[in-house]
Amino acid sequence: MRTWPGIISLAVLASCQQPAELKADGAWVRLPAAQGRPAGGYFTVHGGDKGDTLLAVSTPAALGAEMHESAKDHAGIMSMKPIRDVPVPARGAVAFAPGGKHVMLFDLGPRVAAGQRIPLKLAFAGGKTLEVQAMVVGAGDPAPKE
Ligand SMILES: [Cu+2]
């Protein structure tokens, strides 16, 4: 039974863990390459002590926002589809990042420019709403380092 000490020490570690809080960080938005096209929004959600479900993302800086997921089809062509009800596991992390899950921001306000921050509101099934300030970057710019 060589595995027992490992299991026991894991259990001890788990019992001293700090309580985890549902939160989101690393939020940023990339402006579209052409005006009128949607912008992409990205962030990471960290689960609390209990799992939760991200229901919707919204922002006062755009007329509409949808959660999407990008995927490659068998021919290697990228496409995306709207997603809803994104599970956030307890103490886990869900990343919205280029090439995967993202938020499409439609009709971004004309004054939104690189270097600004715009609020993103994340609504969860458990009743919590998180607001994060997303750093806006230009169309060809990399993700900001935070
Ligand atoms: Cu999309």
CA of 68 to the centre of ligand 1 (A): 5
Could you please state the CATH topology (level 3) that the domain comprising 20-137 is classified under.
Immunoglobulin-like (2.60.40)
Cβ atoms of 94 and 42 within 8 Å: the answer is: no
pTM assigned to the model:
0.85
CA of 141 to the centre of ligand 1 (A): 18
DSSP 9: H
CA of 79 to the centre of ligand 1 (A): 8
CA of 90 to the centre of ligand 1 (A): 26
Q: What share of the chain in percent tops pLDDT 90?
A: 78
Which of these, 126, 141, 117, lies nearest to 52 by C-alpha position? 126
Q: What is the pLDDT of residues 70-79, one digit of tens each?
A: 988 889 999 9
What pLDDT sits at residue 36?
A: 87
Separation between Cα atoms, residue 80 and residue 29, nearest integer Å: 17
The residue extents of the domains of the chain are 20-137
In this prediction, residues 101-117 reach a mean pLDDT of 96
CA of 96 to the centre of ligand 1 (A): 11
